[in-house]
Amino acid sequence: MSEARAAIAGGSRVVVKVGSSSLTTADDGLDVARLDALVDAVAGRVGSDGQVVLVSSGAIGAGLAPLSLDTRPRDLATQQAAASVGQLTLAHAYAASFGRYDLTVGQVLLTSNDVVRRAHYRNAERTLARLLALDAVPVVNENDTVATEEIRFGDNDRLAALVAHLVQADGLILLSDVDALYDGDPRAGGTRKIAEVTGESDLDGLKVGMSSSGLGTGGMMSKVAAARMAASSGIPVLVAAAADARRALTGADVGTAFHAADKRLSARRFWLGYAAGTEGRLQLDDGAVAAVVGKRRSLLAAGIVGVDGDFRAGDVVDLVDPAQQVVARGVVAYDVTELPEMIGRSTHELPDEHRREVVHADDLVPIGRH
């Protein structure tokens, strides 16, 4: 067994994410039998002195049948209405199912603001920690009733990766209707299953298929992105089928395992790199990219070739390379109006009030494949 699988199987705290397609059907909405099977697996882990945080999709799918909707709606207002009805159905089903094991469920609904804003991020962290300390099973979902961009573009895979770091999980398990990561669309045939992802090179040239269901918003690409996010921050990840939930939660001997980076990011640096909202972009030359990413140096004005956005000192910005790929994020020390006169100039050429770093190394997190 690989180190990643052993950590997930033996960890004291794991986050489990389940997709809409694994809990709901287009014809009948919420599938209670599937939900009960998932709860059986989670309760088994909890009964073995483990802690589990469940990140569950399915609110919109669960609301379709009660509202006599045949397919997932495309307009935002109807999506929110379906989520409003479905969230109650989903929460009641989880409470009843976990009740078979005398386990208490705590529902936690989050929007992007709850992780983008630092104070909200810390509050979510405290809430989840307290639920676990009280032996409750937190069931987390995006608050689709009031969310906007999340419904149209987001997916709970990324939320699960954020939650895994929030609760300092020993592992993250992403469950869906696909049993593992393949080097192509498994429905097309002739593809190879990837059992272990030890580094970025294992993902080079990867072409992954989407979920076969029309109920969810994400697919395998979303899971790969979330797995990379969690693994790069020090959390091992398992991608597996919801039908294999019990094996995933016991021996972790199914699916695809993503190996974790050697060092886990602090809560602040993880928030800065993956959770914070950005207000602009600083375009770097090759030398600055090498210094910031390769040597973990501060960003100086001399290495900046362009500025985009409307930000103020203290905001989080993306740092991009000459190919416009994001290579780092950091807290900028100047307003956007101050930088045009500074970019490309050496420190000794600047007036005294502008000789500090544009982004200090302590407030900068490299990200991506660099």
Per the annotation, binding residues for ATP are 17, 176-177, 217-223
Residue 221: phi and psi, rounded to 5, are: -60, -40
Residue 125: phi and psi, rounded to 5, are: -60, -45
> Residues annotated as binding site for substrate?
57, 144, 156
Whats the size of the chain, residue-wise?
370
| Strand-pair partners of 38 | none
DSSP characters for 302-330? GGEEEEEE---TT-EEEEE-TT--EEEEE
Residue 314: phi and psi, rounded to 5, are: 100, -10
> Residues annotated as binding site?
17, 57, 144, 156, 176-177, 217-223
Distance CA 14, CA 347 (A): 47
Beta strands 193-194 and 181-182: pairing type?
Answer: antiparallel
Distance CA 292, CA 286 (A): 10
Q: Which amino acid is at 179?
A: D
| Strand-pair partners of 175 | 18, 240
Q: Which amino acid is at 322?
A: P
